[in-house]
Structure 1
């Protein structure tokens, strides 16, 4: 079974705000996924985790099959 693995290191600022999906780095909105033609830096590791948890729940409940499952 193919498995995709990604490593998203946490910064000290992210570690100081566990599970926060806030824009901790004051990045412009255009850095949000889908807002820029090329991939932007995103708003942090916790937001990445939250997004993957949301789509995993959708796959597990049968709402979509378009995303891989998150295992962490």
Structure 2
């Protein structure tokens, strides 16, 4: 009977440590999010240090998969 008690005790202890560690980790993560200073890139600011809302350019690269489909069709013929 003794191994069953030891197994049950260590199983519950392991579960307790995981729960306590999860709560402490979650609290530390929330604290880090709330206290850190958000940094922006310098190109987002004008000469006066104000954020430029309109002139920020974003680029989206798209993969051109159509040319691969055309090559496959030519190989089949």
TM-score by length of 2: 0.27
Query: Over alpha carbons, which structure has the higher Rg?
Result: 2
Q: Which has the higher contact order (CA 8 A, sep 6+)?
A: 1
TM-score by length of 1: 0.28
Which structure has greater helix proportion? 2
